[in-house]
Amino acid sequence: MITVLIIMTSGIIIGWFLHKKEKILKILSGLTDWAIYILLFLLGLSAGTNEKILNNFDQIGLQAILITLFAVAGSILVSWLTYILFFKKDER
């Protein structure tokens, strides 16, 4: 995974130098979308050939939704506290 992080960090540095080259950036942003589409297509493909995933798809879906509800509830409660303690008093 170190490789991934090094690649991303070098992208950030190159991106910083490119930030005024609108035309190049537009092309790269289109390429980014396609890289994402291809990767998710490949994820679908390997999931579609994986018996373990196919046989448990309902359970996997249920777990995904439950964990999200917990994640959202937790983050809302902590940020509610942050809001009351640090933000609310500055409003009229």
Partner 1 sequence: MKGSLIILAFFIGGLLLGMYELLPDQLLTNDYSMYALYILMFLVGIGIGSNKKSLEVIKSVNFKIILVPISVITGTYIGVAAFSLIQDNLSLVESLAIGSGFGYYSLSSVLITEISGETLGVIALLSNISREIITLLFTPVFAKYFGKLAPISSGGATSMDTTLPIITKYIGSDYAIISVFSGVVLTILIPFIIAVIL
63-92 burial, b for 16+ CB within 10 Å, e for fewer? eeeeeeeeeeeeeeeeeeeeeeeeeeeeee
Tell me how far, at minimum, the Cβ of 35 lies from partner 1, in Å: 4
List residues near partner 1 by CB under 8 A.
Answer: 1-5, 7-19, 25, 28-29, 31-32, 35-50, 52-54, 59-61, 63-84, 86-88
Contact 53, 47 (CB under 8 A): yes
The distance of closest approach from Cβ of residue 17 to partner 1 in the complex, given in angstroms and rounded to an integer, is 8
CB of 52 to partner 1, least distance (A): 6
CA angle 87, 81, 66 (to 5 degrees): 130
